[in-house]
Chains A and B, each alone.
Chain A
Amino acid sequence: MKITEVRIDEDRLLRLLTDGDHEGWSAGVDTQAQLAIEQTYAGLVVGQTPMQRERIWRQLVDAGRASGLGPSSWAHVDIALWDLLGKELGLPVFRVIGGFRDRVPAYLNGNASPDAATAACDQGYWGYKFPARPGSAMVSTLQAIRAAVGDEFRLLADGRRQCTLEEALALGRDLEGVDAHWFEEPLRDSDLTGYKKLSDGLDVPVVAGTFADHSMLAGTQALTAVAVDRLRACLPRSGGITDVLKLLRGAEALGVNCELEWDRQCGPHACAHLLGAARNVEMFSADADDGGDLDLSVVDGELQIPVEPGLGHRFDGR
């Protein structure tokens, strides 16, 4: 079986067409990635088989570097190759890698409101993530949210890269005051010195790593510098399944979690399968409508990893 054509449909679905029974898909290709795929990657992939996935990945990385492109540019091609491989083997992608679990605890994303946090708690989610801003007003908001959800529920604060180091330290102490579960990306991307000081100083785990250079090497170097308590990667911004899997393994060997995020255009499928294959990720990042449009179901606060062959995407008529 060989890949015969690379096509991007109008609804932004990347399709690897083959001379066999299956196609490989990745959804939500943006115009930048589309340009990179058409100009740089498509010619590389045609004629190859997903049984050489790792070799192709290396070719993508090298071709990307030569064209000044980063991991997000080849991510969709890699994701589609995994989808194709899974379909070819008749296995869901997480079991091609080697399954760890078929359901994963999920937290819900929302705004900093006690009512929304309580609703997430009542729906069975394992945690609730909301934006946290520096300033005295935040303290009362944090206390109100904690009072509403009780002592056990996980509260995750997203710093949105808006803080100075001083502000992040102060906000981090406020978060410790309400026993927050983690403090995500308060500082500007790639500020390793700042992150080092912050994670040394704070008890609340500092989670960061979707930096400007999203490669796995940038990620592990943040870990070896002990600049973050948990790493963070985003599909497809940090690369495809191959890139992020390597990052997960590097973090695992260093005894650290690598929490995963996913791009809303691309969808959560690739992320879900990595969650199914790795031990060192705690929770799935869910939106309120995940059960509907995205064909993925969160049942009683747990994401059910798709068990159909490949990634488990469904697209009408294709």
Chain B
Amino acid sequence: MQITKATFYIHETGSEVREVRFSNRGSTQKVPPGLSGLFSHSEGMGWQHDRDITFRADAPATTYRLQLRLHTDGELDAYTDWSSGFAQGELEWEAKKVLATLMPLVVGVDTCDREYIWQRLWYAQRFFYTGRQPLDTIDRMLWDLASRQARQPVYKLLGGARARVPAYANYGGVTLDDMVASAMRVRHNGFVGAKDHSYRGVQGNAELFREVRDAVGDDFILLHDPVESYTCEEAIRIGRELERLNFGWIEEPLQDYDILGLQRLCAALDLPVLALEWIGAIGGQPFNAAPYVALQATDIVRQRGIGITGQLKVAQMAESMGVPVHGGDPHVILAVHNDPLFEAMGLVPLDDSESLDCRGRLVVEDGYMSIVHSDAPVTEPDWDEVERTAALVIV
């Protein structure tokens, strides 16, 4: 089955008053600056004083959605939402740029030749400076098409290693009491563990974590994510405290660029070090992640592969080198063995009233993530109707 043609549709989606808002409480709980000197505030890079900055438009503006459809010579087509915005003309010319530069690399290729398309668009990132979004989106479209054709969820097409994965959730708050109460709520919701994003420095964080461990008890996973706010020396000091408190890992303790610091930290600590979220966000995985593993500059790889195909590459690279990964698409997580915990954004209970299809739906409850599905086909868009109602059709 071949991709025969690409079409973009622009749809009007309603109207909205545009607004940009930034608000930040002043420092309710100042902590001394760490050696890094980066963070002097309990909420990170906040200001010393209250700030509230708002820009708001006078009137509502029409919103638009740009949709990509890859026609095939089979029964099903691939489709996805590409982007959205307030200016139809901008979306139109974005679509034309993609049609001119990227679609010639995709049209005419077999819909199952995902590796060929992934490799071509990988290099297109460089030649056209596309960033990661086009490859990410197109690869996911093709996996979605494969899923609808086979009437199986993507994670089963990828190998279906597990039916469910233990889940943890994040906790936070301004004061220590807030933080402890928040961690207890996570535990109460059935999660197997909780992760902070706390920038209180070594002393402040150590004090916080002792209280949190006291409150949640011993049989609960605690994870620390300081978001690159330590120096290597500080990370070793907090790492020892985390080891005493039986933490599961320390996440992004240093800048991802600090390869030598990460090597030193990994060598020093028994506690696993998890890195590569930031450097992975730029792109480059699995190619820039593998040398970190080889140089022992991270114990766990933060999953930032591009598309389902790229994420599977990252997971398999890590597996072939004997290390775990963390994060990424739930389908990929369920398909591999070496991604031990799911980071939940909260509970996602199973809603019995909603009908299921082969794509499946994410469920997070009772401390586990799973994807529930049926073998029912996905209802396809009525393309004649789409053509008729679109604000603009771009071919």
Min CB gap A2→B, angstroms: 14
Measured CA separation A199–B119 after assembly (Å): 28
Within 8 A of B (CB), among A210-262: 216-217, 219-221, 223-224, 242, 245-247, 249-255
User: What residues of B have a CB within 8 angstroms of the CB of A217 in the complex?
Assistant: 320-322
Are B116's CB and A224's CB within 8 A?
Answer: no
Is A101 on the interface with B (CB-CB < 8 A)?
A: yes
Is B340 on the interface with A (CB-CB < 8 A)?
A: no
Is B327 on the interface with A (CB-CB < 8 A)?
A: no
Are A252's CB and B286's CB within 8 A?
Answer: yes
Measured CA separation A251–B286 after assembly (Å): 10
Are B313's CB and A55's CB within 8 A?
Answer: no
Min CB gap B81→A, angstroms: 23
Min CB gap A79→B, angstroms: 14
Min CB gap B291→A, angstroms: 7
Of all chain A residues, which has the CB nearest B112?
A95
Min CB gap A226→B, angstroms: 9
Is B79 on the interface with A (CB-CB < 8 A)?
A: no
Is A99 on the interface with B (CB-CB < 8 A)?
A: yes
Measured CA separation A53–B156 after assembly (Å): 8
User: What residues of A have a CB within 8 angstroms of the CB of B286 in the complex?
Assistant: 249, 252-253
Is B241 on the interface with A (CB-CB < 8 A)?
A: no
Is A25 on the interface with B (CB-CB < 8 A)?
A: no
Measured CA separation A226–B229 after assembly (Å): 33
Is B207 on the interface with A (CB-CB < 8 A)?
A: no
Are B313's CB and A252's CB within 8 A?
Answer: yes
Within 8 A of B (CB), among A174-222: 216-217, 219-221
Are B159's CB and A57's CB within 8 A?
Answer: yes
Measured CA separation A255–B313 after assembly (Å): 13
Residue among B110, B291, B317 with most chain A CB within 10 A: B317
Are B320's CB and A54's CB within 8 A?
Answer: no
Min CB gap A188→B, angstroms: 24
Are A58's CB and B320's CB within 8 A?
Answer: no
Is B115 on the interface with A (CB-CB < 8 A)?
A: yes
Is B71 on the interface with A (CB-CB < 8 A)?
A: no
Is B282 on the interface with A (CB-CB < 8 A)?
A: no
User: What residues of B have a CB within 8 angstroms of the CB of A223 in the complex?
Assistant: 294
Of all chain A residues, which has the CB nearest B316?
A249
**Contact A58 to B313, CB < 8 A, known contacts A254-B291, A254-B294:** no
Size of the A side of the interface (Cβ < 8 Å), in residues, is 37
Contact of B160 among A55, A99, A246 (CB under 8 A): A55
User: What residues of B have a CB within 8 angstroms of the CB of A55 in the complex?
Assistant: 159-162
User: What residues of B have a CB within 8 angstroms of the CB of A52 in the complex?
Assistant: 156, 159-161
Are B158's CB and A54's CB within 8 A?
Answer: yes
Measured CA separation A98–B289 after assembly (Å): 22
Min CB gap A253→B, angstroms: 4
Is A100 on the interface with B (CB-CB < 8 A)?
A: yes
Contact of B157 among A96, A101, A254 (CB under 8 A): A96
User: What residues of A have a CB within 8 angstroms of the CB of B160 in the complex?
Assistant: 51-55
Min CB gap A217→B, angstroms: 5
Of all chain B residues, which has the CB nearest A224?
B294
Is A157 on the interface with B (CB-CB < 8 A)?
A: no
**Contact A250 to B290, CB < 8 A, known contacts A57-B159, A95-B113:** yes
Min CB gap A83→B, angstroms: 15
Min CB gap B292→A, angstroms: 10
Is B287 on the interface with A (CB-CB < 8 A)?
A: yes
Are B321's CB and A277's CB within 8 A?
Answer: no
Is A89 on the interface with B (CB-CB < 8 A)?
A: yes
Are A249's CB and B317's CB within 8 A?
Answer: yes
Measured CA separation A51–B335 after assembly (Å): 10
User: What residues of A have a CB within 8 angstroms of the CB of B152 in the complex?
Assistant: 51
**Contact A245 to B316, CB < 8 A, known contacts A98-B113, A217-B322, A255-B287:** yes
Are A98's CB and B114's CB within 8 A?
Answer: yes
Are A254's CB and B115's CB within 8 A?
Answer: no
Are A54's CB and B113's CB within 8 A?
Answer: no
Is A63 on the interface with B (CB-CB < 8 A)?
A: no
User: What residues of B have a CB within 8 angstroms of the CB of A96 in the complex?
Assistant: 112, 157
Q: What 0/1 readout, one digit per residue, does chain B (148-177) give for beta carbons within 8 Å of chain A?
A: 001010001111111000000000000000
Are B335's CB and A54's CB within 8 A?
Answer: yes
Of all chain A residues, which has the CB nearest B149?
A89
Measured CA separation A250–B301 after assembly (Å): 13
Measured CA separation A51–B113 after assembly (Å): 20
Measured CA separation A220–B294 after assembly (Å): 9
Min CB gap A209→B, angstroms: 12
Residue among B115, B150, B309, B312 with most chain A CB within 10 A: B115
Measured CA separation A221–B118 after assembly (Å): 27
Are A101's CB and B159's CB within 8 A?
Answer: no
Is A278 on the interface with B (CB-CB < 8 A)?
A: yes
Contact of B112 among A57, A98, A216 (CB under 8 A): A98
B-to-A contact residues, CB < 8 Å = 110, 112-116, 118-119, 150, 152, 156-162, 286-287, 289-291, 293-294, 309, 312-314, 316-317, 319-322, 335-337
A-to-B contact residues, CB < 8 Å = 51-55, 57-58, 89, 91, 95-101, 216-217, 219-221, 223-224, 242, 245-247, 249-255, 277-279
A-B contact pairs, 25 of them (CB 8 A): A51-B160, A52-B160, A53-B159, A54-B160, A55-B159, A55-B162, A89-B157, A95-B112, A96-B157, A99-B116, A100-B113, A100-B119, A220-B321, A221-B321, A224-B293, A224-B321, A245-B316, A246-B319, A246-B320, A249-B312, A249-B313, A249-B316, A250-B316, A250-B317, A254-B294
Question: Besides the contacts A99-B114, A247-B320, A249-B316, what 16 more A-B pairs have beta carbons closer than 8 Å?
Answer: A51-B157, A53-B160, A54-B160, A54-B336, A55-B162, A97-B115, A99-B110, A223-B294, A245-B316, A246-B319, A250-B317, A250-B321, A252-B317, A253-B289, A253-B290, A278-B115
- The 10 tightest CB contacts between A and B, nearest first, are A54-B159, A250-B320, A95-B112, A98-B114, A99-B113, A253-B290, A253-B286, A249-B316, A224-B294, A253-B317
